[in-house]
């Protein structure tokens, strides 16, 4: 009985707890349901607000577009009205011109009759036939026309040249002013100074083993002669010469000179130089804003750092050409990045021209084509020395920038003998023309002044003579920039008072 009572009590207690748990669960469920409903309402409100905001923006955009379309429609209507008015004016002018043409035709007939009458009278008075008078008149007119044509050609050429020079001078001057580089570029040194004369013996080594090892490792000939405290390095490859120079300097500074040490230093210098070449190429492309260049092209650009042409550093020259191309392309409305790319790559053939046969322009064009440069860049490289015909404006800009960089003061050193020969050739070409009394090459070969014989060459013929001499100079000589041809004709009148 007691057990039953206890069991019933436990059951009652359990039922109460179950009822309480059910009530709490219901309350929690109601709370969760309410929170979910509030969250859904809040999300719905935010979504509605965003959609309303987007709709307002769209309405504003549509209103703006509608206003623009309305303005364009009004502008078109005004232009149509203007065209209609102009068409009416043109029709009126054509009508007046037709009436005037009819009147002119009648007057021309009257004029022809008067001319015939005058011809008959002139034949009676002069005693010459019309054909004879015409021949005499034509001869006179021909001479006058030739002189007039010469004056016209001269004036037209002067006006065209002045306009072209003004524009070209502005573009080129602006390009040069905006890219102001040093006047003299760094040149590769092929002479290694020594601290003393005893160092020559150490470089040669016992029975010449040191110098043989150095020459074998670098591929450079070492010339040790009577030149005081100096060793001369001789090699066609500028990279090899640079490796030999740096290796020799390191060995002299270190003091340990023997075959094993020489091979170790040369190998180390080669790795350092290869890294320097890569960095020089990457620096040039980065500074000029040229991207997506093949790594082999970058390496060739870096090799130009150790290549010189007429004592002008080729990498510095290529950077100058690139800057000038970009500036001139901007002035002409072209893509400056494309022009700078062609300018920087125009001389990459010089990096390997000692290893490959042919002109460096064609070698460079082939390398650019091999590493998937565009045909515009390939043509600009191949045409910058006219091995190929230039096909684009960029190719012409590369030619002009190349001449500017090479011809500016201090850019290159010219051999005296070649300079004298060019001056003599200029005077020889001018003296070969009939009527030239004497020719003088002045302004370091930039101008030729010609004294003509006044009894053999007229004023009109002087213009043609200067032009013919200029054309012959273009055909027979190669020169940077331009050469001015000035023909001078002097007329002297002498009389005596008695």
**Which pTM was predicted?**
0.47
Q: Comparing C-alpha atoms, which of 262, 240, 241 is closest to residue 250? A: 262
Is the pLDDT confidence value at 354 over 60?
yes
Give the CA dihedral 36, 37, 38, 41, nearest 10 degrees. 120
Q: What percent of the chain has pLDDT over 90?
A: 0
Radius of gyration of the chain (CA): 44
Question: Residue 448: beta bridge partners?
Answer: 441, 485
pLDDT in the model for residue 409: 45
pLDDT value of position 175 = 59
pLDDT of residue 414: 47
pLDDT at 63: 85
Write the CATH number of the domain with boundaries 416-488: 3.30.300.20
- Asked whether residue 180 carries a pLDDT value surpassing 50, the answer given is no
Of the listed ranges 64-68, 344-348, 409-413, the least confidently predicted one is 409-413
Q: Would the pLDDT of 280 be above 60? A: yes
Q: What is the mean pLDDT of residues 215-219?
A: 83
- Tell me the per-residue pLDDT of 221-232, one tens digit each, with 9 for 90 and over: 878 777 677 788
Confidence grade of residue 171 (pLDDT, cut at 50, 70, 90) = low
Q: What's domain 179-188+238-413's architecture?
A: Orthogonal Bundle (1.10)
Question: How does pLDDT run across 421-433, given as a tens digit for each residue?
Answer: 778 888 888 888 8
pLDDT of residue 496: 66
Q: Is the pLDDT of residue 176 over 60?
A: no
pLDDT, position 408: 53
Domain boundaries, the chain: 62-127, 179-188+238-413, 416-488
Round to whole Å and give the CA distance between 168 and 174: 10
Lowest-confidence range among 298-302, 372-376, 406-410, 461-465? 406-410
Residue 464 and residue 483: Cα distance in Å, rounded? 17
State the pLDDT at residue 106.
80
Share of the chain above pLDDT 70, in %: 84
The average pLDDT across 107-116 equals 78
pLDDT at 342 over 80: yes
């Amino acid at each position: 009985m007691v057990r039953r009572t206890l069991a019933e009590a436990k059951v009652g207690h359990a039922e109460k707890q179950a009822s309480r748990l059910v009530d709490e669960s219901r309350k929690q469920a109601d709370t969760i349901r309410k929170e979910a409903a509030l969250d859904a309402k809040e999300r719905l409100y935010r979504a509605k607000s965003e959609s309303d905001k987007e709709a307002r923006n769209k309405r504003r955009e549509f209103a703006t577009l509608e206003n623009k379309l309305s303005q364009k429609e009004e502008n078109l209507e005004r232009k149509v009205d203007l065209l209609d008015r102009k068409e009416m004016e043109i029709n009126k002018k054509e009508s007046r011109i037709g009436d005037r043409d009819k009147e002119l035709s009648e007057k021309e007939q009257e004029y022809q009759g008067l001319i015939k009458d005058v011809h008959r009278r002139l034949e009676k008075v002069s005693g010459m036939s019309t054909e004879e008078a015409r021949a005499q008149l034509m001869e006179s007119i021909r001479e006058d026309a030739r002189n007039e044509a010469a004056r016209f050609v001269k004036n037209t050429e002067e006006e065209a040249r002045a306009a072209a020079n003004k524009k070209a001078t502005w573009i080129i001057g602006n390009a040069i002013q905006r890219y102001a580089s040093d006047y003299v570029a760094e040149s590769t040194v092929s002479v290694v100074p020594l601290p003393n004369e005893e160092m020559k013996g150490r470089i040669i080594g016992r029975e010449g083993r040191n110098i043989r090892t150095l020459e074998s490792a670098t591929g450079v000939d070492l010339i040790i002669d009577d030149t005081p405290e100096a060793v001369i390095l001789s090699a066609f490859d500028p990279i090899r010469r640079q490796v030999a120079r740096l290796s020799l300097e390191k060995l002299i500074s270190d003091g340990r000179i023997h075959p094993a040490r020489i091979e170790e230093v040369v190998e180390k210098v080669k790795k350092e130089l290869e890294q320097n070449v890569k960095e020089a190429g990457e620096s040039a492309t980065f500074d000029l804003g040229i991207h997506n260049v093949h790594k082999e092209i970058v390496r060739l650009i870096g090799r130009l750092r150790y290549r010189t042409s007429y004592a002008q550093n080729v990498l510095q020259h290529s950077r100058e050409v690139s800057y000038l191309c970009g500036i001139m392309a901007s002035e002409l409305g072209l893509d400056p990045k494309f022009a700078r790319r062609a300018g920087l790559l125009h001389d990459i053939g010089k990096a390997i021209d000692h290893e490959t046969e042919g002109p460096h322009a064609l070698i460079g064009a082939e390398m650019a084509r091999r590493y998937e440069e565009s045909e515009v860049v390939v043509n600009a490289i191949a045409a910058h020395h006219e091995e190929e015909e230039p096909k684009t404006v960029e190719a012409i800009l590369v030619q002009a920038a190349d001449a500017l960089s090479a011809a500016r003061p201090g850019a290159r050193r010219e051999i005296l003998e070649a300079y004298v020969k060019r001056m003599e050739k200029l005077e020889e070409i001018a003296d070969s023309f009939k009527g030239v009394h004497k020719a003088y090459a002045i302004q370091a070969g930039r101008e030729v002044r010609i004294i003509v014989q006044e009894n053999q060459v007229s004023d009109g013929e002087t213009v043609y003579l200067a032009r013919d001499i200029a054309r012959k100079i273009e055909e027979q000589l190669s020169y940077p920039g331009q050469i001015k041809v000035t023909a001078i004709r002097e007329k002297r009148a002498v009389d005596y008072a008695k």
